[in-house]
Structure 1
């Protein structure tokens, strides 16, 4: 049965490809080369707090028309503080592990704004503990959100871009743990989820380029959030910095935002299939 579904799905996809005109990736003659999100409608998963909220703030500072946070959790105080400064920052409760929830959110955005131009697949979770202590249930929970949820968000956004004839941009939040171990807080399953995200970025970029869709990822190092603040408080933090080098601090979430803005902007019209590491203390891993 699975084999039959796979064949039908492949045939359906081929017919759709043949019927749908492809969009050129060539910039128009009147291209504005300023790095800006002017007139862009951006969705960011998991933007009610943490890294996602920092990305949203930088997108709004760079003239995004509107930014939507698609998040399962209730908005934080920091969310409302940013929304007070930027009323064009909105929230749709969304469970990114449920396809129908993501589809409903994307459809709601398009109904309200008339379009969507960028999707940041950022929602994720981590659990740091020795590999021998992980249960199968804990591992599956990480993969369900970090990999399957991220893929669903990208796939649903890509379908909507194609339907609307939009040259969309998709940006995944990967991690430096997709490259190497995190010595300070090891988690083999988490690193595995982020390696999967970074790897599928390249293939999705290859497949969807003909539709004018760009797909990239960002790999942050340690970022100061509610989940990581304790790292720099460890008694051996100064010693690690002395021996391993790098910037002796955690990043503010907003310090990642410029890379996301670039990848979401029209200026990045020939940038696809790459990962940008942002890890000022990469040597400390």
Structure 2
């Protein structure tokens, strides 16, 4: 049944611009500002560099005082080279007041273009047998991974509504939101990433055609195992690296830079008819 008779919905004009646009332009982010939560991490830094190369400005948010110096210096060199802006702001994604304050300061002081995109890289992983996993640890993990995603998405959506700017959000979920991990006990983490998948679908339904809101597409990216310091602990277990590599069809772990292109695709107009979807980039892990 069509929604056209429902007064809460409105007809949406597509942003892709029509067939006269070049394919290359569908992957550009010119005159757009993209917020990246968890921006001080390996994935956040990789995404930030990709956004800059595609013409966008980036705002990195994280709970630490500053990003790793070498990575930040390299990002600033890239920003200068492509004549774009990269800003880092300390923020706690579990605090809606803190996030709103930081973004308000940002909008007034730093960015030349309205915020029109979000990538939520902020998240933690914790593992132990469920019988030994405390309620406090479970709540902390859910607060960062799920509540933190909602807090930032809500704050950015409010700014986009205020400016009447359409855009795209990419929530970093995980293949662990779809399947359980072999050889490691991560019930809490898996549950949190499954919640992120459902949160994205639900927000996509609200913000895709609701009156009073600009068009905001919301999709998820579900990575497979990534080689970062966060996975080093688990890989110390004898045989774990070989098992994880053998669990996917490419027989290796991924690198953070392999998620640059998928994120850009989801942010840019090349994915203009895609919302409420999950892009799984897992080396074929879930396809066996």
TM-score, with length taken from structure 2:
0.84
How is 1:156-195 mapped onto 2 (pairs within 5 angstroms)?
Answer: 156-195=155-194
Structure 1 residue 85 and structure 2 residue 73: aligned? no
Structure 1 residue 225 and structure 2 residue 218: aligned? no
Task: After superposition, give the CA deviation of every residue in 1:185-218 in whole Å (9 maximum; x if it has no partner).
Answer: 3210111011000011111101101231100000
- On the 8 A contact 1:102/1:153 being kept in 2, the answer is yes
**Between 70-79 and 144-153, the greater mean CA deviation after superposition:** 70-79
What residue in structure 2 maps to residue 107 of structure 1?
A: 104
Structure 1 residue 257 and structure 2 residue 257: aligned? no
CA separation of 1:119/1:239 partners in 2, compared to 1, >3 Å: closer, same or farther? closer
Consecutive unaligned residues in structure 1, runs of 5 or more: 1-16
What residue in structure 2 maps to residue 266 of structure 1?
A: 269
CA distance in 2, matches of 1:239, 1:222: 12
SS state at 1:92 partner: strand
Task: After superposition, give the CA deviation of every residue in 1:130-187 in whole Å (9 maximum; x if it has no partner).
Answer: 1111111000000111101100111111111111111121110001110111114321
CA separation of 1:23/1:81 partners in 2, compared to 1, >3 Å: closer, same or farther? same
SS state at 2:51 partner: helix
What residue in structure 1 maps to residue 61 of structure 2?
A: 70
- On the 8 A contact 2:168/2:217 being kept in 1, the answer is yes
- On the 8 A contact 1:158/1:168 being kept in 2, the answer is no
What residue in structure 1 maps to residue 4 of structure 2?
A: none
Task: After superposition, give the CA deviation of every residue in 1:217-243 in whole Å (9 maximum; x if it has no partner).
Answer: 001111111111355565425753686
What residue in structure 2 maps to residue 7 of structure 1?
A: none
CA distance in 1, matches of 2:39, 2:11: 32
- Please report how far the alpha carbon of residue 27 of structure 1 lies from its aligned counterpart in structure 2 after TM superposition: 3.6
Consecutive unaligned residues in structure 2, runs of 5 or more: 1-6
- Please report how far the alpha carbon of residue 110 of structure 1 lies from its aligned counterpart in structure 2 after TM superposition: 2.5
CA distance in 2, matches of 1:159, 1:260: 22
Greater percentage in helix: 1
CA distance in 2, matches of 1:56, 1:151: 21
CA separation of 1:130/1:80 partners in 2, compared to 1, >3 Å: closer, same or farther? farther
Count of paired positions: 267
Task: After superposition, give the CA deviation of every residue in 1:98-154 in whole Å (9 maximum; x if it has no partner).
Answer: 112211222233222241110112201110111111111000000111101100111
Structure 1 residue 51 and structure 2 residue 40: aligned? no
CA RMSD of aligned residues (A): 2.5
- On the 8 A contact 1:23/1:167 being kept in 2, the answer is no
- Please report how far the alpha carbon of residue 61 of structure 1 lies from its aligned counterpart in structure 2 after TM superposition: 2.4
TM-score, with length taken from structure 1:
0.85
Task: After superposition, give the CA deviation of every residue in 1:232-285 in whole Å (9 maximum; x if it has no partner).
Answer: 565425753686452232211111111110111122221111011111161699
